[in-house]
Each structure stands twice: as C-alpha cells, then as structure tokens.
Amino acid sequence: MTQRFRESPVSENPVLQYVAVSHLAEKKMGATIRVLSSWSNQLESVGLWYDQLLSESLGKNEKGATPLTTVTTRDLHSRGQQHQDGRRDKIITNLCVGESRRDHLGLPPLSGSTGNEDQLDDLIGTTWPSMLAAATDGTNEAYASVKRPTATIHLPQIDEFTIGQLLQMLMLATVVEGRLVGTNPYGQPGVEAYKKFMMKRLRPDG
C-alpha cells in the first residue's frame, strides 16, 4: 500500500482517491460526517479504530470531519432512515468484502410452515452472499435516488494481508488530508487538556 501510494497515478492510487472523495465531499457538499458503513460485522473494530484515528489526528483548530461507524445490515433500519432523509451532512463509505464466507448459507424453509405465511417462499435457497449483495446495491441505489453521496472500498477477503493494507491506506490518507487542511495529524492538544483538568480534580492540593 505504501508503494502504491508513492508510485501510482491517482487513477490507481487508493490513498489519493479516498482523500479526494472525502475531502471534496466535505468542501463542496458540506459532508462533515463520514460514515464508514461496514458490510461485515467482522470489520466493526476497524471502523472504531478509524473513528479514533480521524478524530484524534484531524479534529483540531475547529477543523476535521466527524467519523461514525455503522454495521450493515444490523444498523440499516435506524441509520438508513437518517442517511436517506436526514441532514445532508454525510458521505457514506461502504466497506465491502468480496468473499465474506466460504459456506454460502441458503435461506431455509420456515420450520413447521403449511403455507407462505412470511411471504418469503420464493426466496428459499437464496444464499447469504446474494442477499447481502442485493441489500448493498439496493441501499446505495436508494441513496443515489435522493443524491446522497456514497463511496465504496472493496476488500477481496478478510485476512491479515488485506486488513494490513486497509489500515495503512487509512493512516496515509489521514496524513495527506492533514497536509491539505493545514493540520498536524500527530499532536493531540485536546486530549492533553482534559487530562490536565482531570488530574487537577484528582489532586486538588497538588
């Protein structure tokens, strides 16, 4: 990932592409909230790690987008409503996995059913990857229908090599954006402030 960042043109450079989309959405569309929408619950911790990275690195001098991690389809009903009809202050980046699991579980018949009570009989045998793809595409089509900006990061699979590249991409992108907005991504003055006042209360005689 570091080599691609250093050597690849923008058309093949995921770091610069991610920075460009995120930064322009904030500047041109007012998208100050960055939703990392993970389409795998295995990647939720990556989103929470990125929440800290972006907040601590760029949240200075009254600048910096606000990160938010969601896991879909788990959070889709609640978050989807806000993303579809709420304030136009968000860009939603889908984090998608090409091969989420090896055993392609299929939707089974309803146990003990004598009819089509759940109205899902026509979907019996549909595999989980197919359902997830339909949910992903349908959700993004809905956002596009009301001009809600989205982007997508595709991971071929979840393994150490791929996750390592993703983490490095997000770190490099954060540093590049720090340069764009004139912020030092390595300091944390806001964190030091709360520590100082907390210790003052813990050691009132110090």
The enclosing domain of 7 has a CATH number of: 3.40.50.10490
Q: Over the stretch 185-197, which tens digit does the pLDDT of each residue have?
A: 998 887 788 888 8
Q: Is 56 a catalytic residue?
A: yes
Q: Over the stretch 80-97, which tens digit does the pLDDT of each residue have?
A: 999 999 999 999 999 999
Tell whether 28 is covered by a domain. Answer: yes
**CA-to-CA dists, residue 124 to 29, 116, 178, angstroms:** 42, 11, 50
Mean pLDDT of 142-170: 96
Tell whether 111 is covered by a domain. Answer: no
Q: Is 195 a catalytic residue?
A: yes
Mean pLDDT of 128-147: 93
Q: How many domains are there within the chain?
A: 1
**pLDDT, position 119:** 78
Strand order in the sheet with 150-155: 66-71, 33-38, 90-97, 150-155
**pLDDT, position 99:** 72
Mean pLDDT of 49-75: 95
Tell whether 113 is covered by a domain. Answer: no
Question: What band does 159 get if pLDDT is binned at 50, 70 and 90?
Answer: very high
Q: Which of 28, 77, 147, 196 is catalytic?
A: 77
**pLDDT, position 150:** 97
Tell whether 114 is covered by a domain. Answer: no
Q: Which of 8-22, 51-65, 80-94, 185-199 has the lowest mean pLDDT?
A: 185-199
Which residues constitute the domain of residue 24?
A: 2-100+122-202
Q: Which of 27, 104, 195, 200 is catalytic?
A: 195
Type of residue found at 95? L
Tell whether 112 is covered by a domain. Answer: no
**pLDDT, position 68:** 96
Q: Is 77 a catalytic residue?
A: yes
Q: Which of 23, 44, 56, 63 is catalytic?
A: 56
Residue 121 has pLDDT above 90, yes or no: no
Tell whether 105 is covered by a domain. Answer: no
Tell whether 79 is covered by a domain. Answer: yes
Tell whether 74 is covered by a domain. Answer: yes
**pLDDT, position 101:** 62
